[in-house]
Amino acid sequence: MNIFGILRIAIKSLGRNKTRTFLTMLGIMIGVAAVIAMLAIGQGAKKIVDDQINSMGTNVIIISSNFSSQRSTVQSAAGSGNLLEVEDTEAIRDRIDGVLYASTVFTTFGQLKFEGNNWRTGVMGVDADYFNIRDMQAEQGHLFYPSDVENSTKVCVIGKTVADNLFGEADPLEKIIRIRNVPFKVVGVLKAKGQNSMGQDQDDTVIAPYSTVYARLLGQRWRNMMIMVSAESKERIHIVQQDILDLLQSRHRGTTSEEFYVRTQTDLAEAASSVSDTMTILLASIAGISLLVGGIGIMNIMLVSVTERIKEIGIRMAVGANKKDVLLQFIIEAVTISIFGGLIGIGLGFLASGIVGKYMNWAVEVTPWSVMLSVGFSCAIGIFFGWYPASKAANLNLIDALRYE
């Protein structure tokens, strides 16, 4: 008998007991849907991190202290908590070939006030180069100037969200806002960027000269300082990275390379990718357990089916079917259950991913390879778990099968 004839018989056999067939499919459906959804969540997490890193700017290098090092721990206990100094930024800008821009960055939080309105948000103290590194532009007014940094001028630029919450429809330019009761004049409003893929509002920020932030908002307390650098080209970025590390070690005598983090966007992306890939594999593996349970369900039902159809198998053998025909029939039945269950599961996986993305505000991404993996795994489960029942049916003794009641 040809393969199409065997397929027709297998499908007809499954159609005799639709409820049992559907319930057998259910385990595969749930398993495939879970795998699709988990992979989509994992890929979404990877995309979030990639978008965050790419939003930093072009050819960016991030420099910070390694707070887990012994020296930084001692300095933290003493109150400074950071090996880096503002002078390091100036040295990097002036002495390292291939550096396009460099900026000191201080970060803190503060309560903002304007007349009767209050708003709490992040406050950044940066150099004028920071706007070039991050490719930021003013929609209203202007960005502050290098002279504002040199003179510790109390000026700031604000994001669209801050402008809306403090000023409403009013023009924020040249208005005085208070950050921790320190007056700052608003000289510009940044072009809106909206939410990033993680749902964080990129327009909810205040940026001021780092010299002003340090003197007026941070003082001599522990401060979270880092340095952001933009290299001239992607080809030179690793040379610049090593030159910066060498310079920092020469400026801070007795330090080792482990006491500074000097990371490129590529370094950050690779580290984040490794973490997200591990998480994706873990999530998919957990979901894959339900697929194995579904496969065991297929084997159990197929064994019951073989027992119920012993006489039918005997009659087929008596009219000319050989062991191969019987084996193929039962394997095809198992694979058919798996494939149809897998296809329905893929649809449910898309639905579940969409629900997670819409109602949980989480980026999800269903990739073609995850769909193909699910289909392939479904077929493999059908063959693997259907083989033993099919083999048992094919090896039945013809005489015993015909006499079976």
CA distances from 335 to 357, 378, 387 (A): 32, 8, 10
- Residue 285, classified by CB atoms within 10 Å of its CB into exposed (0-12), middle (13-18) or buried (19+), is exposed
State pTM to two decimals.
0.63
Q: Helix 18-54 and helix 323-359: axis angle, to 10°? A: 50
User: For position 74, what pLDDT does the model report?
Assistant: 46
pLDDT per residue over 108-121, tens digit each? 999 999 988 999 99
Q: Quick one: average pLDDT of 386-397?
A: 87
User: For position 151, what pLDDT does the model report?
Assistant: 95
Amino acid at 196: N
User: For position 77, what pLDDT does the model report?
Assistant: 42
The yes-or-no verdict on residue 353 having pLDDT over 90 is no
Q: How confident is the model at residue 79 (pLDDT cuts 50, 70, 90)?
A: very low
> Tokens 């208070």 identify what position?
178
pLDDT per residue over 316-327, tens digit each? 888 888 888 888
User: For position 121, what pLDDT does the model report?
Assistant: 94
Beta strands in 180-219 (DSSP E): 182-190, 205-209
pLDDT per residue over 255-266, tens digit each? 777 788 888 877
The yes-or-no verdict on residue 244 having pLDDT over 90 is yes
Q: Report the DSSP beta bridge partners of residue 156.
A: 186
Q: How confident is the model at residue 150 (pLDDT cuts 50, 70, 90)?
A: very high
* Cβ neighbours of residue 276 closer than 8 Å, sequence gap 6 or more: 42, 45, 46, 49
The yes-or-no verdict on residue 81 having pLDDT over 60 is no
Most confident of 49-63, 277-291, 296-310: 296-310
pLDDT per residue over 163-175, tens digit each? 999 999 899 999 9
Comparing 85 with 5, which gets the higher pLDDT?
85
Q: Which of 12, 42, 45 is nearest to 197 (CA)?
A: 45
User: For position 70, what pLDDT does the model report?
Assistant: 46
Question: How many CA atoms are closer than 13 Å to the CA of 287, on its beta-carbon side?
Answer: 26
Q: Quick one: average pLDDT of 129-151?
A: 94
CB 188 within 8 A of CB 173: yes
CB 240 within 8 A of CB 61: yes
* CA separation for the pair 152, 213 (Å, rounded): 8
pLDDT per residue over 175-187, tens digit each? 999 999 999 999 9
Comparing 394 with 287, which gets the higher pLDDT?
394
Q: Quick one: average pLDDT of 95-103?
A: 93
The yes-or-no verdict on residue 6 having pLDDT over 70 is no
Alpha carbon 335 to chain centroid distance?
Answer: 34
Q: Quick one: average pLDDT of 352-367?
A: 81
User: For position 73, what pLDDT does the model report?
Assistant: 46
Q: How confident is the model at residue 78 (pLDDT cuts 50, 70, 90)?
A: very low
Comparing 221 with 151, which gets the higher pLDDT?
151
pLDDT per residue over 326-342, tens digit each? 888 888 888 888 888 88
User: For position 82, what pLDDT does the model report?
Assistant: 64
Listing DSSP states for 127-146 in one string gives -THHHHHTT--EEEE----H
Residue 167 neighbours by CB distance under 10 Å: 19
Q: How confident is the model at residue 239 (pLDDT cuts 50, 70, 90)?
A: very high
Q: Which of 379, 383, 393, 385 is nearest to 325 (CA)?
A: 393
CB 368 within 8 A of CB 302: no
Comparing 17 with 249, which gets the higher pLDDT?
249
CA geometry: angle 50, 52, 53, nearest 5 deg: 65
* CA separation for the pair 172, 164 (Å, rounded): 9
% residues pLDDT > 70 (the chain): 88
